[in-house]
Structure 1
């Protein structure tokens, strides 16, 4: 299949493109920055460029992972987020419909589910952790990033309703380098490891989820999926997770405390949100391979962590 992959130079794109090619797909990469898997340097906000790509390359499906992200808020005006995240998505949807596509994969974010109230967690007086699945709402994004990604999701839903194109919206948890990667206490790797309990997945698992959606969404219509490592917790744990997370963790992983102490790491004293990726497993057959148990297994056997940690990472568009 001839695929247009937007964001092909980014963190996800550099892992997703070679995997798609190894499966036999022909990938045309589009990004504002040059990269190993980027064939066309340009913006999804440029409708004439999008139309030309579809015409020149006979695109058969789109994986739209390109976007301005949360760290870009300090670098770009709000109008740029609207241009890229909203208008860019509209341009791709219109081109896909005109080309008769039967599927569209949109990389969204769990960030749009995190209102100021959810983010405040225990500090804001929350009595229990928030269980975040696809039915959670109402959605009240706290910044221009979340607002424009939610607007793009609405466009995806509208184009499915109007034209019948199958759309998979993938709300990804954390899988990319973050500002807190450079912290010392707790360290970046320590924080990442903790997040596999409730809100993180590896980039490799994010890739597998996109592939599962590309293959599986046809015939489903419009579906939204949360992507995160399988959480060990259940809804009944939510109150105690806010009050005393280590005691809950100890019930599931009795060895965790000692392994963390040997590493000089700390477990979270509270957890205020849980991402539930069960729908993706049920409908797409996707289940993240890396979970907290694998973190502990690596610690127990003195092996490298099963996730990427790159505190020196700079987004390719910022290196231009």
Structure 2
């Protein structure tokens, strides 16, 4: 299958492109920045470029990972988010329908599920950790990134209803390698390890999920799935997670405190949200391979951590802008 992969020069794209080729697909990469897997340099907001990609490359399916992300809020105006994340998605959907495609995979984000109230957690009056699955709502995204990704999800759902296009939206948890832009009191590796308790996955698992979605989309139809490492907790523990998560973690992982201490790490004092990816396992047959237990096994064996951490990582599109200066 000839697959148009948007965001082909980005962090997810560089892992996804080789996986697609290994599965005997032909990758047609589109990105605003050049890259090893990018055939067309430009924006999905450019309708003519999208149409040319379909016409000249015989595209048979779309995996749409290209977007402006949360860190871009500090760099780009809100209109740019609308142009890329909403209009760009619309351009691709219309081209897919015109080409009579039967599948369209959209990379969404769990970020759109987080309102200001959820983010505030117990300081905002919450009494338990938010247990987030695909039925959670109403959705009240707290920034332009979440608003535009939610709008793009709704466009996918609309095209499924109106045209029968199988659209699978994958709400991915965190998988980027750079430092977190909101935490300051823990090391980056410590934060990422903690996030495998309920809100992170590896980029390798994210890429694999897209491959599974591409294969199964026609039989799934129009669906939305949360992607995150499977949490070790139960909803009945939500109150304790918010107020004393180290005790809850220790019940599930008795060696965690000692293993963390060896690194000078700390378990999270409270956990305000848990993403539940069980629906993806039930309906799509996908489960992340790397979880918190895998992190502890690496610590115990003094082996490399099973996730990427790169404080110096800069998006290729920003490198492109720096080179132009």
TM-score (norm 1): 0.98
Distance (whole Å) between structure 2 residues aligned to residue 90 and residue 182 of structure 1: 31
Q: 1:82 to 1:182 in 2, by over 3 A?
A: closer
After TM superposition, list the pairs within 5 Å mapping 1:122-161 onto structure 2.
122-161=122-161
Shift of 1:250: 0.8
- Which deviations, in whole Å up to 9, do the C-alpha atoms of 1:85-124 show, x marking residues without a partner? 0000000000000000000000000000000001001121
C-alpha separation between the residues in 2 aligned to 1:207 and 1:31? Answer: 17
Cα deviations by residue, 1:54-84 (Å, 9 ceiling, x for unpaired): 0001100000000000000111111100000
Structure 2 Cα separation of the partners of residues 253 and 230 of structure 1: 15
User: What secondary structure sits across from 1:29 in the alignment?
Assistant: strand
Deviation at 1:292, TM superposition (A): 0.4
1:187-213 superposed Cα distances (whole Å, 9 cap, x missing partner): 000000000001000000001100110
2:323 aligns with none
Q: Is the 8 A contact 2:220 2:284 kept in 1?
A: no
Partner of 1:49, secondary structure, is: helix
1:180 Cα deviation from its structure 2 partner: 2.3
RMSD between aligned residues: 1.1
The gaps in structure 1 that reach 5 residues or longer are: none
2:214 alignment counterpart: 214
Residue 223 of structure 2 aligns to a residue whose secondary structure is strand
> Equivalents in 2 of 1:290, 1:204: separation in Å?
9
> Does the CA-based 8 Å contact 1:193-1:295 persist in structure 2?
yes
- Report what 1:12 is aligned to: 12
Q: Is the 8 A contact 1:244 1:270 kept in 2?
A: yes
State the TM-score, normalizing by the size of structure 2: 0.97
- Whether the 8 Å CA contact 2:178–2:313 is kept in 1: the answer is no
Structure 2 unaligned segments of length 5 or more: list them.
Answer: 321-325
The aligned runs of 1:207-246 (5 Å cut-off) are 207-246=207-246
Q: Distance in 2 between matches of 1:60 and 1:169?
A: 18
